[in-house]
Amino acid sequence: MDQSAFPTVMDAAAADAAAAPPVPFQHPVPAVLPAAQLPAAPGGAAPEPDDFEPPESPDRRDAYAVTAFGDVIDRAQHAAIARLTMGLSPTALTEAYLDWAIHLASQPGKRLQLIDKAMRKSARLAQYASTGAIKGEPCEPCIKPLPQDHRFDGADWQKWPYNVMSQAFLLNQQWWHNATTGLRGVSKQHEKMVEFASRQVLDMFAPSNFPLTNPEIMRKTIETGGQNLAAGFQNFLQDWERKQSGKKPVGTENFIVGRDVAVTPGKVVYRNRLIELIQYAPATDQVRPEPILIVPAWIMKYYILDLSPHNSMVKYLTSKGFTVYMISWKNPDADDRDLDMEDYRTLGVMAALDRIGEIEPGRKVHAVGYCLGGTLLSIAAAAMARDHDDRLQTVTLLAAQTDFTEAGEMMLFISESQLAFLDDMMWEQGFLDTTQMAGAFQMLRSNDLVWSYLTRNYLMGEREPMSDLMAWNADATRMPYRMHSEYLHKLFLNNDLAEGRYTVGERPVSLADIRVPIFAVGTERDHVAPWRSTFKIHRLTETEVTYLLASGGHNVGIVSDRHRTGLHYRVTTAAGDAPHVDPDTWFMTVGQVSGSWWPDWLAWLTARSGAWVPPPAIDGGYGSFADAPGRYVLEP
């Protein structure tokens, strides 16, 4: 993006200083008092009020400008640092490490435990290494990796000396986990931050990341005569060149929006400064009377729900007789810096409902929200219920949080210090950039998204074939400054929505006001919206809730391709007055069903829909961008 289009920091400071009125000096005694209350002057006469006005001070007149300029300097410094730290606050991390270090220093018993653990782990490793060297065959490991850690699964890792290297790394990793957790007095937030940061540093030095300590790389290097390293270097140069020139990753050219993905026929039937509303063409002679409105997250392009024809949720719904409308969000830029959450509600959800009401008067709507779009939809539904707006037939929340007290490792980045740092970064740009946002998500799964990628592409010399989902993931979006700041402060940090403080139209809303049936979907390996967090919808509402837990992660679990094998899910329905069941008990007692969850959801929607009717007319009037996928999704 052309940074010259943005005002510079000095321009902003000058504008603030020029526009700032001088601040009058505030004397501790009010300037105007009744004469009887004025202090007596020498000789007994009451002084005039003007006697209490101090002489004008140029320093005081300029105080506002100096303060504004100082604020600009601080923000600019934070923004500059943020470019190097991917938006993470060094102050917040330092504060966490000091909290941990001071408490560790004051607990000699904990230090003795760590010394004892280190000695016993060293003895176990020495015995393991000597046994393997003498026998020359695999032996029982000292420690097994976590279930999600597949770095050392290969047969080559079970041979000496690589098995010793992997065991030493895992034991070291376990020791550091013991060292960074369980200290009395350390705040939970700081403990999690220190443990997470220590794990990131350790993962950098895992033996799987280096050719000489990775047997799979060594074997391939010998077999190919080093061609894998040459190919990996070419891959690195190709990726570097594309990144520097602003191009998308290799292979994305095979998944063009409107040609290969997002190809379900439809028309743009409404557009404002924030959304395009797409109405998809009917695929059946008759349709259900209640249309479906999908509210995707604006942290992503909408077409994750309309990927290739075989895994498109939109195509699936239209083929089963539903009229589907989709919100396509504009990718914000610096001009959109002041858009807030209320703008996204009014210009997004409510504007879309109004337009659907014009196309299909009197019809109630099945509303569907995904991720952040689901959070916004829950806010809109609560406000509609409060205001006696009964246009919703049902609400479906896909991997969407409404209570943020257990929002997983994303909470590591949520504190007053961190958000102040992030605010300053966004303030300078006007938005949260795609690379900054992607960096935070990649760190949550650095083994899979960073180190495994680097090893496979640059050391093994292999390119994983690009898929439609990977190409969509590379088509990133931005977040406007004001909206993202409100979202992080009000929802993540203060949890205003779950605790009844979130306001719409200057009045608080409550999720307990929602009376329409809710279908909530969580996914087992979700690192963005952990399923135990989404499960809390049961406690926040007093209506019928059907909760479904699908296999997979935040994206793969929702894009539940019916043709893919190995899928499963759990599902139950609870009445609004049913006794509460905790998520772990629920998981252990609910049976597992094989296959995609889409047919189960379809049956739920069908049971809450009316008899068949002719499909509504579809007429887009937006020139060359009248056809789906529209214009906004194509904007970089």
Q: Which residues are catalytic?
A: 371
Contact between 634 and 301 under an 8 Å Cβ cutoff? The reply is no
Separation of first and last alpha carbons in the chain: 9
551-563: b (≥16 Cβ within 10 Å) or e: bbbbbbbbbbbee
Q: What six digits make up the tokens of 283? A: 């695929």
Q: How far apart are CA 224 and CA 330, in angstroms?
A: 48
Integer Cα distance of 276 and 332 in angstroms: 13
Q: Are 88 and 420 in contact (CB under 8 A)?
A: no
Q: Which residues pair with 593 in a beta bridge?
A: 569
List the one residue out of 550, 543, 596, 542 whose CA is nearest residue 571: 550
Strands (E), 2-103: none
The whole-angstrom separation of Cα 543 and Cα 511 is 10
User: CA separation (Å) from 468 to 103, 138, 311?
Assistant: 49, 41, 10
What distances in angstroms separate CA 100 from CA 178, 200, 406, one per listed residue?
12, 17, 22
- What are the DSSP calls for 467-514, one per residue? -HHHHHHHS---EEHHHHHHIIIIIIIT-TTTTT--EETTEE--GGG-
Reduced to 3 states, what is the DSSP secondary structure of residue 422? helix
Burial of 14 (0-12, 13-18, 19+ CB in 10 A): middle
H helices of 108-214, where? Answer: 108-135, 162-180, 188-204
Peptide bond into 480 cis (omega under 30): no
Question: In sequence order, which residues have a C-beta less than 8 Å from that of residue 271 and are 6 or more positions away?
Answer: 277, 622, 630, 631, 632
